[in-house]
Amino acid sequence: MAEERRLRLLVVDDHDVVQWGFRLLLERQRWVEGCLAARSGAEAVDICRRLRPDVALVDMLLGGESGAEVCEEIRAVSPATRVLLISGAGVVSPSVARAAGASGFISKDWSAADVVKAVRMVSLGTEVFADRGALDSPLSEREEEVLALIADGLTNKEIAGRLHLSPHTIKEHTSAIYRKLGVRNRAEATRQAQRLKLLV
């Protein structure tokens, strides 16, 4: 099995303690290669232009700058960089965040485990626009059922029979699972689900 590619992250925050805390937390994850840091939008955009991090965590209030505008600038110079907006006050509207090109939002009062999970989910291509209680799974209940049967080795036809659905419907659920987990086949879906603890 090929070794999983480790990710390069960027934390954009003008408060040293917050920036240090996020970096310390994220650099301890086995799937993180390194965690860069920036204190301003200009610095963040420059880093993204040169180093193309996989995920950038951007504070909504960077001194006098708007995190949403910084997000737009990052996405312009490094379209592959996924942006996760962070805030210490209030909740960012999903429509505002999406319009800026962000893939999600987290609050600074979330637990370390929830922050790590959100960063991981965004890196895998999933959006995180929900409270932390909804972070447990990016999949619907039906998709979780289908995924569990995929992991058990059942074919689409067998899954359809088990769930009393058409094979076409199962194929659609399977495609949605692959898209949400950022995988290409059943084996990858099972491994990814195990990493995200979606399978008991």
What is the SS3 string spanning the chain? CCCCCCEEEEEECCCHHHHHHHHHHHHCCCCEEEEEEECCHHHHHHHHHHHCCCEEEEECEECCEEHHHHHHHHHHHCCCCEEEEEECCCCCCHHHHHHCCCCEEEECCCCHHHHHHHHHHHHCCCCECCCHHHHHCCCCHHHHHHHHHHHCCCCHHHHHHHHCCCHHHHHHHHHHHHHHHCCCCHHHHHHHHHHCCCCC
94 vs 113: CA distance, rounded Å = 22
Domains observed in the chain: 7-133 (3.40.50.2300), 141-195 (1.10.10.10)
- Reported as a single tens digit per residue, the pLDDT across 69-96 is 999 999 999 999 999 999 876 666 778 7
- pTM of this structure: 0.67
Q: Tens-of-pLDDT digits for all 200 residues of the chain?
A: 344 678 999 999 999 999 999 999 999 998 899 999 999 999 999 999 999 999 999 998 887 888 999 999 999 999 999 999 998 766 667 787 888 899 998 888 888 888 998 898 899 888 887 665 555 567 777 888 899 899 889 999 999 999 999 999 999 999 988 888 878 899 888 887 777 667 65
- Reported as a single tens digit per residue, the pLDDT across 2-27 is 446 789 999 999 999 999 999 999 99
Unique residue bearing structure tokens 């840091």: 37
